[in-house]
């Protein structure tokens, strides 16, 4: 998936103030333990005693649960108390981005950058918005800026991979491959970089290299239907129709498991046409 959630657990570092209760601290501990539903329950009980902290933390918990409309509502409330907190603008921007409100997300990331121009996550997430809006040059500029701000290795890998995708979509295949290769050097088990490197090699007509990349991606993430589908296309182009059909069967299986009905139906239709060619 292209749009990754990059969230800072900012509220863990905020100072406590009078009125913050043991429930608030328990909610923070639940966030740290990745018990997000429990965190929501705890922060819901402290909205009157510590509204800024509770709304802000509950916003983060909802973000991590994927409940983006409620995350946005909680960030709205928290921003009334802490309008100069850049991380709150980041979190609300992410909630809006996930809901397809690109202009709203752009406005929030702009506000966050004005408050904290050294926060690489704000530039990275704004790059994702620009990409979604089809503004490639602005997207690439923000990816560049995010990388210049020296993010830690895991996030640097994601930024390089997403910048590579943007370059690939614009036809800059060699530069895209450079980004994917850098990402893989930093994190050799990063399946997403291997997958997109395979896509770039495929666009170059380098079928054997693409096949090797997709093999590696599936070794790292053996239940990814998109990779099976991509490898099926390469196998068919190499004249290996039977292997291609087998890959489509796996793609179909995993798309169905994930509840991606439209993708499942598309793969099933493609598999039917290839089976007809195989047995005619």
- Over residues 18-58, the pLDDT tens digits come to 445 688 888 888 998 999 999 999 999 999 988 999 999 99
pTM, rounded to two decimals: 0.89
What pLDDT is stored for residue 116 in this prediction? 97
Longest dimension (CA), the chain: 77
Comparing CA positions, the residue from 104, 182, 197 lying closest to residue 143 is 182
Residues of the chain with pLDDT under 70: 1-21, 280
Helix (H) or strand (E) holding 260: none
What pLDDT is stored for residue 21 in this prediction? 64
What pLDDT is stored for residue 148 in this prediction? 98
Comparing CA positions, the residue from 274, 166, 113 lying closest to residue 179 is 166
SS3 194: helix
Distance between CA atoms of residues 242 and 50, nearest Å: 62
What pLDDT is stored for residue 157 in this prediction? 97
What pLDDT is stored for residue 278 in this prediction? 81
What pLDDT is stored for residue 25 in this prediction? 84
Distance between CA atoms of residues 277 and 271, nearest Å: 10
What pLDDT is stored for residue 99 in this prediction? 97
Yes or no: say if 126 and 142 are a contact pair by the CB < 8 Å rule.
yes
Query: For residue 270, how many C-alpha atoms fall within 13 Å in the half-sphere facing its CB?
Result: 21
Distance between CA atoms of residues 230 and 31, nearest Å: 37
What pLDDT is stored for residue 96 in this prediction? 97
């Amino acid at each position: 998936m292209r749009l990754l959630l990059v969230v800072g657990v900012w509220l863990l570092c905020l100072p406590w103030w009078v009125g913050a209760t043991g429930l608030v601290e328990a909610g923070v501990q639940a966030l740290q333990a990745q018990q997000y539903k429990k965190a929501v329950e705890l922060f819901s009980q402290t909205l009157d005693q510590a509204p800024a902290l509770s709304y802000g933390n509950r916003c983060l918990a909802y973000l991590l649960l994927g409940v983006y409309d409620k995350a946005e509502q909680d960030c709205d409330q928290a921003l009334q108390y802490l309008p100069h907190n850049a991380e709150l603008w980041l979190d609300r921007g992410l909630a809006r981005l996930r809901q397809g409100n690109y202009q709203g997300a752009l406005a929030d990331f702009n506000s966050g950058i004005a408050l904290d121009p050294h926060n690489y996550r704000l530039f990275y997430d704004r790059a994702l918005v620009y990409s979604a809006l089809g503004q490639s040059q602005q997207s690439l500029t923000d990816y560049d800026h995010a990388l210049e701000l020296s993010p830690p290795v895991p996030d640097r890998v994601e930024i390089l991979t997403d910048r590579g995708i943007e370059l690939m979509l614009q036809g800059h295949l060699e530069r895209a491959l450079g980004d994917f290769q850098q990402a893989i050097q930093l994190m050799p088990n990063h399946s997403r970089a291997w997958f997109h490197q395979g896509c770039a090699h495929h666009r170059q007509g380098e079928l054997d290299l693409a096949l090797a990349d997709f093999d590696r991606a599936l070794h790292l993430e053996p239940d990814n239907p998109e990779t099976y589908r991509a490898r099926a296309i390469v196998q068919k182009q190499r004249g290996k129709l039977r292997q291609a059909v087998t890959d489509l069967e796996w793609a179909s299986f995993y798309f169905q498991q994930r509840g991606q009905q439209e993708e499942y139906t598309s793969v099933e239709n493609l598999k039917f046409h290839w089976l007809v060619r195989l047995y005619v």
